[in-house]
Structure 1
Amino acid sequence: MVASFARHYLSRNPVAVATAVLVLTAAAATGSLWNDEGALVWGAGPLATFASGRWWTLLTALVVPDSTVDAVSSVVLALTVLAYAERLLGSRRTAVVLGAVGFSGLLLGIGFHAAAWALTDLRPVVAAEVPVLDPTTPIAGAVMAASALAPTLWRRRVRLVGFAFLALFALYAGDADSWYRLTAAVIGLIVGAVLARGRERRSWHRSSARETRTLLAMLVAVVGSGPIVALISGGGRGPLSLVVDAYTQYDDELLAQCGSVAASVCDEQVALLMTRGAGPALLAIVPLVLLLVAAWGLRQGRRAAWVVAVFVLVASAVLPIVSLLDGRLRIDPWVDGSGAEYVLWALASIVIPLALATALMVARARFTVRATTKAARTVALVVGTAFVVCATTLFVVESIGRRVFDREVSVADLVLLTLRRFLPPAFTHPGGSPAFPHSGPALFAYQWVGVLFWAIVVAAILWLYRRIQRPDVDGDDLYRELLRRGSDTLGFLGTWEGNRHWYSADRSCAVAYRLVGDVALAVADPLAPAGRRPEALREFTDFCVDQGWIPAFYSVHADTLADLVDLGWRSVPVGVETVMDLPGLTFAGKSWQKVRQPLTRAEREGYTAVGSRWSELSVSQASQVVAIDEEWVADRALPEMGFTLGSLDELRDREVRLLLAVGPDDRIEAVTSWMPSWTDGEISGWTLDFMRRRTDGPNGMMEFLIAKAALQLQEEGAMVLSLSGAPLADDPDEPADGDPAPLRALLRWLAEVLEPAYGFASLFRFKGKFRPRYRPLALAYRDPLQLPGIGAAVGRAYLPDASRREMVALARTAWEGRR
């Protein structure tokens, strides 16, 4: 299995594999794999390449990593994103683009580096030269070039995410490697545009609301994670890394007191020691963490995330302005050639947060997903209680430990200190004369209580994201009215309990969907007048996006799937519907022998097919049907499935017909239920749903009931009789896929695993006796990265109430079946 996969991978991605091997070989040969600093002689830069005359470094810098981490990350990127680029470009073009774009990006980047260093004003924010060794530079260029040939979804995703990360490291970390990578990526983007000229582009609908949310969320994430990158990289040397001063873990106000007023009792180094450590460091970056949490919610349209992001951004921008106005921060921008540095500091600290906050306020209408009132009150109570408890605890601990403070402290001093420890140091000015403890529980509480409080706040916000208001659930009267206008064979599934209904503005189009978490599973095909189905699909998608949900269409037929594919959706088969065409149907001939024999035998033995509705059943009949169902469920000791598989609850619908197999002694041996479908206001077909028979009853009862139903409904003028869908089945009229996609292969494996538990395959073979017409059913989705969530939602929809014991029983049954 592994060897086969490796051969297949190598045959499809020879350039990606060769790149990974070359990087590892070069790393081992030069010693950089073991972090040998002597490998820098192979690095490139203005001095290393041109001043020293080592021109070959323009090539070696592209294959030799500078460290073990760089080697590992380069290999991983080569085997993943570069392999994807190779499948888009082809192996030959990938090799050419990899070398050409990498060389060009490195050469141009060195030129920009030299020019920036030549400008005096930029020297403070341009790193002094350290020779660059970075195999990810050509990889970045090749991936951006290949993105021009990717499907629209992945083209947007690769470019947006890729440039966000590249810009993040260039603007905040500021090392030459980051700038060279960014330069190569820009060149790759231009090369890709040339390669894609004349290429037909498939239009892909994507809601403008989702575009706006994704873009703004990405920008907020960059603003939030940029200073963290600068902090991790030792302060950073990028143009925007100057903002990192606002997130240092020590207390500027405390240090100022130590250096002047309290010089006699406080040493600056002691103050630094007391205000450093993991706790103060975490407290210092609270605003950045809140921005990252807000970015997560903004992507899904959460109003709570919008409030958090705007508040933090405005506070971050106002703080340096206040510091300038009150004299705490003194900057003479034109002394010692620091004008450019001052401009960049102002841009990073004030302009960018204010501009982003303004953009969020303009786009406020895009973030409409609100939490429930109950959830909002719960979060307010939790946060308020946490603050009171943490503040009280801190105050008590500090009061008990007064002797370990740097000076005598009053109750007012302790109150002020308590309030200050819930805010990052940059947000505590003006705060009066601070005091601090030297050791013991007082120091521990001083450093960690604020962190604990904000951890609770972050957890509460994330919990709030999951508690959103649901739109009002419409009754199904209108949906049933639209069903009668015209519906496919599975449309009646939309009337089942647990489903919601979306309607177009003019109330002529409808989609039934089941909300599982944040996934909206549309059930079967939409109801729409002729020619309006694509419009309904687009509007329902927009509706889901506005609610922050992931839309997916489950068990759709080929015509609906074709419309979704035109809109850029993807699909995976999830089953096959078996349909009998009733006009001209007879059970004559050898091919019908497996149906005709049970039918004639049952009639000969005195069994009759009794049609009814649930409301028409006698007490005895209803009790027998319930007993048959309970016997069927108990016999398996497994969770009963729902969603598109009916149960007793669905039998009670006033429009569902029952057909019972009744013996000579009036004992019911089997029961089936049938759901109607309409054409132009008239019932034109029926769909089989519920199938149960006594375990100790005679064989052939299901064949008998289905055959009798077909003959009776044929006499009534029905055109089709659907035996419903068979989950995870393959269309026997289609050739087997010799190289299925990973998800399709997984579904086939899942069908085999679940067969001992639910018998999907045997049920499908049973329906094949009736010589049906096969109609494939598909799951349609927009984004492959959403498939795990969609798959989990489908599982929860089918087994919403499964207990732990039942799931263990299911796993045991599946395992025994596999053996």
Structure 2
Amino acid sequence: MERARPGRQEEGGRESLSHRCYLGAVWYLRAVAFVNFLAAVWVSFGNDLRRHNDDEFFTPYLLTAGFFSGSVSLFLAVTMRRRKRAAWILNLVLASLTLALASLALALPVYRQHAQNWFSVVLTALFVAALLGGRREFRAKGDRSNPKLAASVAAGGLLTVSLLATALVTATNTDPEAGHSTFLQRWHYGVLRMVSLAYDDIHFGSITTPSWANVLINIMGTALVLLVLYAAFRSRRVVDPMTGEDFGRLRVLLDRHGERDSLGYFALRRDKSVVWSPSRKSAVTYRVVSGVSLASGDPIGDPEAWPGAIDRWLSQAREHGWAPAVIGASEEGGTVYARHGLNALELGDEAIVDLAEFTLEGRAMRGVRQAYNRIERAGYTVRVSRHEDIPTGEMAELVRLADDWRDGDTERGFSMALGRLGDPEDGRCVMVLCHEGERPLGLLSFVPWGDDGLSLDLMRRDRDSENGLFEYMVLKLIQQADGFGVRQISLNFAMFRSVFERGSRLGAGPVLRLWRSLLSFFSRWWQIESLYRANAKYRPVWEPRYLLFEKSADLLRITVASARAEGFLEAPGPPKWLSRRT
């Protein structure tokens, strides 16, 4: 269900009416898409609708009974819901043209005598009125290259699909006099089948094709139209990257306020862009993925200036039709985001080790002690140092080893990973390196968290090394933390930690136990439970982290965008001709 933005009612009746018109236009397209798809699968109903247009009746805008018109109207409903200006213009032009032609037809007695035609004109007129009344809502801009790209896709796609359709018609023509048809006739037949499956619409005496071939041609035509519409309505993808001045200002803010959020340093990722508050005392860093403006962690800088940065970030997202979302916000940051109309969903918990309270004593730490002692007896050694104190040649070798030890080809992480081990600008990061003699076996890299904290960035180890190596390295870091002025360490993020914890307790309800079982099943591939167990060994303080989003309908897009940003999902790259830019 669509939800009005906060403050809309206070902005006056005109704005409220504009929003209602926006919703009316979107729901009209959704309803038409539903009826079109229903008519496509309900043969008798679809034939009744088609006979209306064959006789003396006509149907409202975009209602033509078929998968083709259903797919187009559904796509337009989606783009209109995202407030795309180009989609609004296209609908207004086509609907106005339909309304004008239908109104002229009503001047003829043969059409005027049928109530169905009056109903169609009224319904189309209401849709046009909703478009005009909601025009202020459709502000989302597309990419500047969209018109040229859409024209290229339409021209190249029409040529390719029409030739494929002609070849399919030639190969499947079952008419006894198939050889009498010309290439132009077969091409014409194929092009018409791209638009319509109605048998009465096309009459070629020497061409008869099976139903499956007609359906396949129609599917190709539908896919082409959707591809053209996609190219025409794409959101802006190229976002201005952060400049050297932006990085410098962010580092100044992190020096002043970096202790507030353990994820603050990850705002310096080079694949992010930045939106500043009017006072320049705060900023939101984000990345656009799959039409989602994805921010991570809390805003950077003075909390009193956070609202100004959030307002500008949300305004930019709405201007370009992006779905705004935040992953990994703390409770403090999530509260501020929620005041700006975003909804919160708890993702999991961050494990934070308070070194003043940490101890290896007690039965609960027995497993960690045993792992530590086993690795210690094996003769392993650990060295802890700042990145800036590691010689250049050695750092280059560590970067190579980290790549070799990585599980897969993709460097994962976005909200809690820096993604640039060994960069000279990250000299204050801390490296924990484990050796067996002269041979490196594992490394941990931590980024600064204010003046007295560290936040885990990267953990890699040789696959042939002993189990318990990471526990040994973490404990060695804790032992040497005073030498680096470290008082707290942020470890891995545990998704759905509370489900695993509460679901294993006595008296857990059936829903919670089922949810825990499902997560345990998926942990075979995504290490959900194992990360929780690995963190829980240190008896950490658990700090909740949240997902913020504007509309529930965007959750699927946000999930896909987050998975892509974190490196868990790789989308195949578009063809070069489709991604070409001006």
Q: 2:275 aligns with which of 480, 502, 519?
A: 502
Match of 2:291 in 1: 518
Q: 1:296-315 counterparts in 2 under 5 A?
A: 296-315=78-97
SS of residue in 2 equivalent to 1:759: helix
List alignment gaps of at least 5 residues for structure 2: 58-62, 179-183, 573-582
Q: 1:1-150 counterparts in 2 under 5 A?
A: none
1:765 paired to 2:536: yes
In the alignment, is the contact (CA less than 8 A) between 1:203 and 1:568 conserved in 2? Answer: yes
Match of 2:141 in 1: 368
Match of 1:612 in 2: 386
Counterparts of 1:315 and 1:542 in 2: how far apart (Å)?
Answer: 33
SS of residue in 2 equivalent to 1:619: helix
The alpha-carbon deviation at position 441 of structure 1 amounts to 0.1
In the alignment, is the contact (CA less than 8 A) between 2:330 and 2:546 conserved in 1? Answer: yes
Counterparts of 2:278 and 2:318 in 1: how far apart (Å)?
Answer: 17
List alignment gaps of at least 5 residues for structure 1: 1-153, 161-201, 237-243, 254-280, 405-411, 426-434, 805-819
Q: 1:579 aligns with which of 352, 375, 379?
A: 352
The alpha-carbon deviation at position 605 of structure 1 amounts to 7.5
In the alignment, is the contact (CA less than 8 A) between 1:625 and 1:671 conserved in 2? Answer: no
Counterparts of 1:612 and 1:284 in 2: how far apart (Å)?
Answer: 65
Counterparts of 1:750 and 1:372 in 2: how far apart (Å)?
Answer: 45
CA offsets, 1:266-292, max 9 Å, x none? xxxxxxxxxxxxxxx969996676444
Match of 1:358 in 2: 132
Match of 2:508 in 1: 738
Counterparts of 1:765 and 1:548 in 2: how far apart (Å)?
Answer: 41
CA offsets, 1:685-738, max 9 Å, x none? 322322344554795641443224421233xxx554333533443399989693
Match of 1:460 in 2: 227
Match of 2:578 in 1: none
Q: Kindly report the root-mean-square deviation, in angstroms, between the aligned alpha carbons of the 2 structures.
A: 5.7
Scaled by the length of structure 1, what TM-score is found? 0.52
1:721 paired to 2:489: yes
Counterparts of 2:23 and 2:252 in 1: how far apart (Å)?
Answer: 38
SS of residue in 1 equivalent to 2:489: strand
Structure 1 448/702 Cα, relative in aligned 2: closer, same or farther at 3 Å?
Answer: closer
Percent identity over the alignment?
A: 18
The alpha-carbon deviation at position 539 of structure 1 amounts to 4.6
Q: 2:101 aligns with which of 284, 300, 319?
A: 319
In the alignment, is the contact (CA less than 8 A) between 1:728 and 1:751 conserved in 2? Answer: no
Structure 1 485/216 Cα, relative in aligned 2: closer, same or farther at 3 Å?
Answer: farther
The alpha-carbon deviation at position 623 of structure 1 amounts to 1.7
1:250 paired to 2:54: yes
Give the number of the structure whose alpha-carbon radius of gyration is greater.
1
Match of 2:29 in 1: 220
Q: 1:265-284 counterparts in 2 under 5 A?
A: none
Higher strand share: 2
Question: Which structure exhibits the higher relative contact order, with contacts defined as CA atoms closer than 8 Å and separated by 6 or more residues?
Answer: 2
Counterparts of 2:300 and 2:8 in 1: how far apart (Å)?
Answer: 20
1:672 paired to 2:454: no
The alpha-carbon deviation at position 632 of structure 1 amounts to 3.6
Counterparts of 1:483 and 1:378 in 2: how far apart (Å)?
Answer: 46
Greater Cα offset, 751-760 or 473-482:
751-760
The alpha-carbon deviation at position 505 of structure 1 amounts to 4.7
In the alignment, is the contact (CA less than 8 A) between 1:578 and 1:724 conserved in 2? Answer: yes
Q: 1:285-296 counterparts in 2 under 5 A?
A: 290-296=72-78
Structure 1 722/669 Cα, relative in aligned 2: closer, same or farther at 3 Å?
Answer: same
Higher helix share: 1
In the alignment, is the contact (CA less than 8 A) between 1:297 and 1:465 conserved in 2? Answer: no
- Which letter does structure 2 place at the counterpart of 1:738? A
In the alignment, is the contact (CA less than 8 A) between 2:162 and 2:190 conserved in 1? Answer: no
Counterparts of 2:75 and 2:170 in 1: how far apart (Å)?
Answer: 31
In the alignment, is the contact (CA less than 8 A) between 1:552 and 1:780 conserved in 2? Answer: yes
SS of residue in 2 equivalent to 1:776: strand
In the alignment, is the contact (CA less than 8 A) between 2:495 and 2:528 conserved in 1? Answer: no
Structure 1 641/728 Cα, relative in aligned 2: closer, same or farther at 3 Å?
Answer: farther
Match of 1:347 in 2: 122
Counterparts of 2:360 and 2:35 in 1: how far apart (Å)?
Answer: 76
Match of 2:563 in 1: 795
Structure 1 455/417 Cα, relative in aligned 2: closer, same or farther at 3 Å?
Answer: closer
CA offsets, 1:575-614, max 9 Å, x none? 32233445x6786977998789959x96998956341316
Match of 1:654 in 2: 425
1:562 paired to 2:335: yes
Greater Cα offset, 482-491 or 379-388:
379-388
Greater Cα offset, 292-301 or 458-467:
458-467
In the alignment, is the contact (CA less than 8 A) between 2:161 and 2:221 conserved in 1? Answer: no
Q: 1:378-527 counterparts in 2 under 5 A?
A: 378-385=152-159, 389=163, 437=203, 439-441=205-207, 454-461=221-228, 463-464=230-231, 467-475=234-242, 476-477=246-247, 478-487=249-258, 488-527=261-300
Counterparts of 1:417 and 1:589 in 2: how far apart (Å)?
Answer: 82
Structure 1 576/588 Cα, relative in aligned 2: closer, same or farther at 3 Å?
Answer: closer
Counterparts of 2:429 and 2:239 in 1: how far apart (Å)?
Answer: 30
CA offsets, 1:358-388, max 9 Å, x none? 346x347424234744642432323552687
Counterparts of 1:220 and 1:516 in 2: how far apart (Å)?
Answer: 26
SS of residue in 2 equivalent to 1:577: strand
